[in-house]
Amino acid sequence: MKNTLTGKIRTAAAGLGIAGLLLAGQISAVSVSADAGAAFRTLDEIKESGTVNIGVFSDKSPFGYVDEYGEYQGYDVYFANRIGEDLGVEINYVSTEAANRIEYLQTGKVDIILANFTVTEERAEEVDFALPYMNVALGVVSPEDAVIESLDDIGPDDQVIVISGTTAETYLVKNNPEIKLQKYDAYAEAKTAFENGNGVAWANDNTEVIAFSIENEGYVVGIPSLGSQDTIAPAVTKGNESLLNWLNDEIRSLGEEEFFHRDYEETLLDTYGKDYEDTLVVEGGAAPEAAA
């Protein structure tokens, strides 16, 4: 019996060894592909293949969602459709979650991410952002009978709902590490959990929490703007210059026809009304006064 036990340990050690070898192999494989830089498709390759892969949300109404007929809809998707049209290719929509947007670009699973992707310094180290097409800040929504109007209203035992991989999460982890976060990996789940009363508040992009409070009775956006004003932009794999340049040209030329205002009126007007149009929309890559 002693023999068999040592035998088993030996097998386990071999298992660890194999895992180690695999990991080592993985690491060298990664450095090889980083040298080759072949993780993305250039503009010509996309046009040649006849399909562009665009990563969008499937559960974040009204920006990117799947409607009752199974069609992708929303502010981001309206733009994506136009990109497909102007590239002259079919669009293959790939549903993404907040936390895997960078991954999908880095592994070449999508050519463009158009999933309401906020531009941040950390993310800009991993992917290349094109010109922005929307403004955003963070917001916090809470039930109207216990409104959170400042982060100080959050008690030491209270939990705030966030979605993993969003700027709200990163902001709170960095600036308010004392706040307990309840993390979910998809919008739909965070929403349901918040409706079920699992957290005292939900922190997310302010566009999203405003939409939630408009669509659901009994909730108030107590903190409409938290942190810095940011922008939302399409992202491509780091180094994919041909596609990046094309996107920037596209956004500039769409500005001439007021495309994003039309996009707003088609997709966001029902939710936000006319009031938010000039706050949210970024036309032609940058509004002159917001350029600083």
Kind and range of the H or E run holding 230:
strand 219-232
Answer yes or no whether residue 21 interacts with another protein by CB under 8 A.
no
Select 189 or 270, whichever has its Cβ closest to another protein: 189
The three-state secondary structure class of 113 is strand
Select 100 or 267, whichever has its Cβ closest to another protein: 100
12 φ, ψ to 5°?
A: -60, -45
Answer yes or no whether residue 156 interacts with another protein by CB under 8 A.
no
Give the residue, chosen from 48, 85, 122, 266, that forms a contact with another protein under the rule CB under 8 A: 122
In 3D, which of 281, 140, 264, 265 has the Cα closest to residue 208?
140
Select 107 or 229, whichever has its Cβ closest to another protein: 107
The least distance separating another protein from the CB of residue 23, rounded to whole angstroms, comes to 6
Q: How many chain residues bind another protein (CB under 8 A)?
A: 39
Give the residue, chosen from 76, 128, 169, 283, that forms a contact with another protein under the rule CB under 8 A: 169
Write down the residue that tokens 């907040």 correspond to: 98
Select 198 or 279, whichever has its Cβ closest to another protein: 198
Contacts of 54 (CB under 8 A, 6+ apart): 80, 83, 84, 91, 92, 93, 94, 110, 111, 112, 113, 114
Residues 66-105 that bind another protein (CB under 8 A): 98-100, 102-103
Select 153 or 195, whichever has its Cβ closest to another protein: 195
d(Cα 180, Cα 257) in Å, to the nearest integer?
A: 46
Give the residue, chosen from 55, 123, 223, 282, that forms a contact with another protein under the rule CB under 8 A: 123
In sequence order, what are the beta bridge partners of 203? 140
Sheet holding 72-73, edge to edge: 59-60, 64-66, 72-73
Q: Which residues bind another protein (CB under 8 A)?
A: 1, 4-5, 8-9, 12, 15-16, 19, 23, 26-27, 30, 98-100, 102-103, 106, 122-123, 125-126, 164-166, 169-170, 173, 182-185, 189, 192-193, 196-198
